[in-house]
């Protein structure tokens, strides 16, 4: 344990340093005094005695230095010395230090923030059994836009029997319920699943049990599973909830269990019930409502399963050509299913931030180049004076670690603030966006390690590489080169040019990308929704079937009519209307239709349009224009002629040039027609968001088709948010037991719809500005350094008669050449990369000529400014002074 004693003793002396120094001095002085005294005694003169004593002692300073080395911790002391020296160096050149630290902090900060989000959202472990093998199975039909949609029970049955690629396959479907008997009635997002559905996910309830296959049948007693949220809020975390009865839509259900807290699939579901599919459903190929979840057999890849399923579809189609509807099967891995609409924006942002990091690296490399070119001479001198290479390396590494540490720390602070901002990518309660619920983004150790690695790499770039270079060159050569002060060496020229060119190329790619995204956002924001969302309040509710049964439509009619009357009477309300599926709410439903005289298409091939059921006041309240014909009136009653309006898209697609008014739609089947007379054509409404295509819409009067999902819309005189309470009270004065699903100002809903787009375009723009800033700093630094290095050369040129204008042109010319080369490379990269961003773009081509021609000009302007200042400095060099110095 001797080394411990040694270390402790050495550490101890790090403190009370001065005392030890004084003691050493005194001890050595006593030594000399003793020697002098002895020499005097032997008869020497005072001078000779002293000289002999000192000679025999050897080097006084050398002894002290050796003693100090033995005493303390030389490595630590050197480090402290280097640190102090490093801080002095940085303080001496604050512009360099600040630039380097800012570059590092911004680069590391932005990258870490985005990577943290990507890790937290796209890579977080899923709380399901072997989630890599779980897939959602959808049906896509080219005739209906190729979107993944729910399937028919018949298709599901065929896949389950024939495909052979699934270990298990389970059906499910949306099933909204109203809970009563627990305080005020509550509308619940419900989900009906088969018993094996929950087994595929591999979740166990926190209380009670899942339902069995026997309970998953139409004839068994009603059972339900609660979400953790519902259990906590509506049932006050009642530990004895299992086996108690609750009332859903007026029917008694037995609670079997409570699902665990993190279980949120599909998102926002509050209650799960058995799907109880009747055996007869196997023959139903017409109703597409089944959402299928499967677990792939071990060893079966996604691509194999995809191919097998489509082969099965093809066989079925070949066997039954008359019912073939051209469906394809689409498998979506659970992970992608959960990430939904956030996946692409995040991945694209990650690419963008990667470019920012590259620019930061180029900047750092440029700074290091300039900095170390200056220091080659210092290295040479110190080597010549006998400094060891190890010692020099240590000092330079210390200096760069200092920079990297400050920059890295700044970056991590920025990242912490940044992840907070990035939470805006995940607005909660936006029904029509399919994004995961994210309420907090924890800092991830892995990402911190990543940031740390970047910092270390930077330190290496800054510190070690140039010293190694300095060491290779012979000390004398380096000194000669710099003292000659002529044009710079070719290799340093080349690396410098590479830095400028790559910075310009990378910035250009980011700028075009950002330009496209921001231009898209502008278009989306300015896109006409087809209705006026300002001063418009919506009140969504669901009429529970126990009190508003479909067998008694009059009750529904009376309710809506009474509420509209009360709402209309409220002060500050200009007009009131009612619809079933509120635009932007995420609720929607379709009907297939046939035109008069049309040959009946194959089953499932009939054109479809969205169902919109409205009261006569709806168009006015929403400010949806009526383009032709007439609006519904109070005369369009249940017992009158069945009337309908269609939107412009439908009129254009299905009636071409003809006037649709006066035509009729068959909303039944060819055998059992259900005719509706078209009386008007309305303007288009963007019901799924500003950036989504408009569907064909069929409007029908509520009175002729009383639908249980109801959304009242109120055009208000003042801010619609302030009207929520009075509107709800007016509604409850008609029926105090109805839960309000959502009361939302429509402008808020419209704005929330754009949340992801807004945040991602803001981020993209921020990255582009950051890139531009970094590039500007980088180009300035490199050019300024070029001018400094070529001082003598410029002096000679000017002494030989070059004018200031010529020098300015020469230096600017260098900047221009590098900029143009960078732009050429950048444009090529941008052409290749922007194509990948198609999903973020809206009505802007990935090759938008305006953006592709503007971005280079912005960059040229920036590069010119950044190189003008150094060039002007070059032109103002006094030739005599430049030649005389050094």
Partner 1 sequence: MGNDKSDVLQGTLDLMVLKTLEAMGPLHGYGIARRIEQVSGNSLSLNQGTIYPALLRLEQRGWVKSAWGVSESNRRAKFYSLSPRGLKQIREETENWERIAATMSRFLAPSN
Q: Could you list the residues that contact partner 1 (CB under 8 A)?
A: 2, 5-6, 9-10, 23-24, 26-28, 30-31, 33-35, 37-38, 56-60, 62-63, 66-67, 69-71
What is the phi-psi region of residue 125: left when phi exceeds 0, alpha when psi lies from -120 to 50, beta otherwise? beta
Sign, Cα dihedral of 7, 12, 18, 23? negative
Q: Nearer Cβ to partner 1, position 31 or 557?
A: 31
d(CA 404, CA 90): 12
CB of 75 to partner 1, least distance (A): 16
Query: Which residue in 636, 866, 640 sits closest to 99, CA to CA?
Result: 866
3-state secondary structure of 289: strand
CB of 392 within 8 A of CB of 139?
no
Q: Nearer Cβ to partner 1, position 7 or 417?
A: 7
CB of 791 to partner 1, least distance (A): 49
CB of 31 to partner 1, least distance (A): 4
For residue 670, what are its two tokens? Answer: 């060819």
Query: Which residue in 263, 209, 207, 210 sits closest to 235, CA to CA?
Result: 207
3-state helix, strand, coil in the chain (%, to 5): 55, 15, 30
- Distances from the Cα of 564 to the Cα of 185, 254, 595, angstroms: 21, 37, 34
CB of 59 to partner 1, least distance (A): 7
Q: Nearer Cβ to partner 1, position 66 or 729?
A: 66
CB of 36 to partner 1, least distance (A): 10
Query: Which residue in 667, 697, 689, 866 sits closest to 786, CA to CA?
Result: 866
CB of 40 to partner 1, least distance (A): 11
Q: Nearer Cβ to partner 1, position 27 or 886?
A: 27
Q: Nearer Cβ to partner 1, position 54 or 748?
A: 54
Neighbours of 300 (CB within 10 A): 17
d(CA 452, CA 284): 59
Q: Nearer Cβ to partner 1, position 69 or 76?
A: 69
3-state secondary structure of 537: strand
d(CA 405, CA 456): 9
CB of 33 to partner 1, least distance (A): 6
Q: Nearer Cβ to partner 1, position 67 or 173?
A: 67
Q: Nearer Cβ to partner 1, position 9 or 876?
A: 9
CB of 81 to partner 1, least distance (A): 20
d(CA 281, CA 277): 7
CB of 385 to partner 1, least distance (A): 24
3-state secondary structure of 188: strand
Q: Nearer Cβ to partner 1, position 52 or 222?
A: 52
d(CA 272, CA 741): 19
- Distances from the Cα of 858 to the Cα of 175, 357, 510, angstroms: 55, 21, 12
CB of 51 to partner 1, least distance (A): 14
Q: Nearer Cβ to partner 1, position 16 or 123?
A: 16
d(CA 818, CA 501): 6
């Amino acid at each position: 344990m001797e080394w411990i004693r040694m270390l402790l003793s050495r550490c101890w002396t790090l403190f009370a340093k001065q005392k030890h120094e004084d003691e050493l001095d005194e001890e050595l002085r006593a030594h000399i005094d003793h020697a002098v005294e002895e020499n005097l005694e032997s008869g020497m003169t005072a001078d000779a005695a002293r000289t002999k004593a000192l000679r025999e002692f050897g080097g006084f300073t050398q002894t002290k230095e050796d003693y100090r080395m033995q005493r303390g911790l030389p490595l630590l002391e050197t480090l402290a010395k280097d640190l102090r020296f490093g801080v002095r160096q940085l303080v001496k050149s604050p512009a360099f230090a600040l630039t380097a630290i800012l570059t590092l902090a911004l680069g590391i900060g932005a990258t870490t923030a985005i990577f943290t989000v990507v890790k937290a959202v796209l890579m977080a472990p899923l709380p399901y059994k072997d989630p890599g093998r779980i897939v959602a199975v959808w049906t896509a039909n080219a005739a209906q836009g190729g979107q993944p949609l729910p399937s028919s029970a018949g298709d599901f049955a065929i896949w389950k029997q024939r495909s052979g690629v699934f270990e298990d396959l389970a059906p499910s479907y949306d099933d909204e319920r109203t809970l009563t008997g627990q305080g005020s009635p509550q509308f619940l997002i419900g989900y009906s699943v088969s018993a094996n559905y929950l087994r595929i996910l591999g979740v166990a309830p926190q209380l009670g049990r899942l339902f069995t296959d026997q309970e998953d049948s139409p004839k068994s007693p009603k059972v339900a599973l609660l979400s953790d949220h519902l259990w906590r809020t509506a049932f006050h975390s009642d530990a004895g909830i299992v086996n108690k009865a609750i009332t859903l839509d007026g029917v008694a259900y037995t609670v079997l269990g409570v699902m665990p807290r993190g279980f949120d699939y599909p998102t926002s579901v509050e209650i799960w019930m058995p799907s109880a599919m009747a055996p007869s459903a196997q023959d139903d190929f017409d109703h597409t409502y089944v959402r299928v979840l499967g677990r792939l057999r071990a060893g079966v890849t996604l691509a194999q399963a995809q191919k097998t399923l489509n082969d099965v579809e093809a066989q079925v189609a070949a066997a039954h050509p008359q019912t073939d509807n051209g469906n394809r099967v689409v498998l979506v891995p659970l992970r992608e299913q959960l990430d939904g609409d956030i996946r692409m924006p995040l991945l694209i942002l990650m690419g963008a931030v990667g470019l920012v990091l590259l620019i930061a690296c180029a900047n750092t490399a440029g700074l290091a180049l300039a900095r170390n070119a200056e220091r080659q001479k210092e290295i040479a001198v110190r080597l010549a004076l006998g400094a060891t290479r190890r010692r020099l390396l240590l000092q330079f590494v210390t200096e760069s670690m200092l920079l990297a540490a400050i920059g890295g720390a700044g970056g991590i602070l920025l990242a912490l603030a940044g992840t907070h901002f990035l939470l805006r990518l995940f607005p909660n309660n936006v029904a029509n966006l399919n994004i995961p619920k994210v309420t907090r983004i924890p800092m991830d150790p892995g990402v911190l390690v990543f940031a740390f690695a970047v910092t270390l790499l930077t330190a290496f770039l800054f510190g070690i590489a140039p010293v190694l270079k300095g060491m290779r060159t012979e000390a004398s050569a380096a000194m000669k080169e710099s003292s000659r002060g002529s044009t710079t060496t070719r290799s340093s020229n080349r690396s410098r040019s590479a830095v400028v060119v790559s910075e310009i190329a990378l910035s250009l790619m980011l700028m075009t990308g950002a330009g496209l995204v921001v231009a898209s956002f502008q278009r989306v924001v300015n896109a006409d929704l087809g209705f006026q969302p300002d001063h418009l309040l919506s009140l969504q509710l669901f009429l529970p079937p126990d009190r508003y049964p479909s067998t008694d439509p009059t009750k529904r009619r009376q309710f809506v009519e009474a509420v509209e009357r009360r709402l209309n009477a409220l002060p500050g309300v200009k007009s009131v209307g009612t619809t079933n599926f509120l635009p932007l709410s995420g609720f929607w439903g379709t009907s297939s239709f046939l035109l008069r005289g049309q040959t009946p298409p194959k089953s499932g091939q009939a054109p479809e349009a969205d169902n919109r059921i409205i009261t006569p006041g709806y168009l006015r309240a929403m400010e949806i224009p009526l383009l032709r014909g007439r609006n519904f009136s109070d005369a369009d009653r249940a017992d009158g002629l069945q009337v309908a309006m269609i939107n412009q898209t439908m009129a254009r697609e299905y009636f071409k040039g003809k006037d649709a008014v006066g035509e009729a739609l068959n909303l039944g089947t060819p055998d059992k027609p259900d005719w509706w007379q078209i009386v008007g054509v309305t303007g288009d409404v963007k019901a799924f968001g500003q950036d989504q295509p408009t569907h064909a819409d069929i409007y029908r009067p509520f009175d002729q088709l009383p639908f249980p999902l109801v959304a009242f819309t109120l055009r208000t005189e003042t801010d619609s948010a302030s009207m929520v309470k009075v509107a709800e009270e007016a509604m409850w004065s008609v029926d105090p037991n109805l839960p309000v699903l959502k009361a939302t100002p429509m402008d808020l809903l419209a704005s929330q719809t754009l949340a992801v787009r807004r945040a991602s375009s803001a981020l993209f723009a921020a990255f582009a500005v950051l890139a531009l800033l970094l590039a500007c700093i980088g180009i300035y630094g490199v050019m300024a350094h070029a001018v400094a290095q070529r001082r003598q050369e410029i002096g000679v040129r000017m002494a030989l008669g070059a004018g200031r204008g010529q020098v300015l042109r020469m230096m600017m010319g260098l900047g221009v050449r590098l900029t143009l080369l960078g732009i050429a490379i950048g444009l090529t990269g941008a052409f290749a990369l922007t194509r990948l961003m198609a999903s973020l773009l809206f009505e802007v081509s990935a090759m938008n000529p305006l953006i592709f021609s503007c971005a280079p000009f912005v960059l040229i302007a920036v590069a010119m400014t950044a190189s003008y200042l150094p060039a002007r400095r070059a032109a103002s060099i006094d030739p005599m002074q430049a030649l005389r110095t050094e």
